[in-house]
């Protein structure tokens, strides 16, 4: 069953560059409602768990080190067709290939430092949301 919710993380490079406000504005202006929100920092172990599906890939170690290198902003977003529509707003993994107006085109630097995460399925949205948020931190 579709949950109409997705999980996003504004990645350390985008937080460091001061893009949090602009990115949240773009996200809400695109029709997503923020139902959970926090600034936090992953430990290396957290990042390895979050990205376990990529273990063994050449970029895995750098990805986990980068994602635990500084604060991130995590949020649960609600909208009809949230997972797919948010992936569209995020754009391609490589900012150079991302469509005009997408978050990665606007705020991404490189394929590694692409500014934002978006869940790729309803199942992963649920898993990733409970990774970051307790029930008391999620609102209607």
Which residues in the 40-79 window bind ligand ADP by CB under 6 A? 54, 59, 63
Which residues in the 55-84 window bind Mg ion by CB under 5 A? none
Between CA 106 and CA 108 the distance in angstroms is: 6
Count of residues in the chain: 140
Active site residue 117: yes
Q: Which residue is catalytic, options 117, 118, 128, 132? A: 117
Close Cβ partners of 78 (under 8 Å, ≥ 6 residues apart):
4, 5, 32, 33, 34, 35
Interface segment toward ligand ADP; rule CB under 6 A; list 14-22, 33-41, 111-119, 127-135: 111-119
The token duo for 75 is 């949020």
Provide, rounded to whole angstroms, the least separation between the CB of residue 105 and Mg ion.
Answer: 17
Close Cβ partners of 60 (under 8 Å, ≥ 6 residues apart):
51, 54
**Of these, 102, 114, 115, 129, which contacts ligand ADP (CB under 6 A)?**
114
Q: Which does 139 bind (CB under 5 to 8 A by kind): ligand ADP, Mg ion, none?
A: none
What separation in angstroms does the CA of 32 have from each of 74, 98, 107?
Answer: 14, 20, 18
**Of these, 4, 30, 112, 124, which contacts ligand ADP (CB under 6 A)?**
112
**Residues 30, 79, 99, CA angle at the centre, nearest 5°?**
40
| 111 near ligand ADP, rule: CB under 6 A | yes
Residue ranges in contact with Mg ion by CB under 5 A:
120
Catalytically annotated residues: 117
- Per CB under 6 A, residues contacting ligand ADP are 54, 59, 63, 93, 111-112, 114, 117, 120
């Amino acid at each position: 069953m579709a949950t109409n919710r997705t999980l996003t993380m504004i990645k350390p490079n985008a937080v460091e560059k001061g893009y949090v406000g602009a990115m949240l504005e773009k996200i809400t202006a695109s029709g997503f409602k923020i139902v959970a929100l926090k600034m936090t920092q992953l430990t290396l172990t957290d990042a390895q768990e979050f990205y376990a599906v990529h273990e063994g890939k050449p970029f895995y170690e750098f990805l986990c080190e980068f994602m635990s290198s500084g604060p991130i902003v995590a949020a649960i977003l609600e909208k009809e067709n949230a997972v797919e529509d948010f992936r569209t707003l995020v754009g391609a993994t490589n900012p150079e290939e991302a469509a005009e107006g997408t978050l990665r085109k606007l705020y991404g630097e490189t394929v590694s430092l692409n500014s934002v995460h978006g869940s790729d399925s309803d199942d992963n949205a649920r898993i990733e949301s409970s990774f970051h948020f307790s029930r008391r931190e999620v609102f209607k």
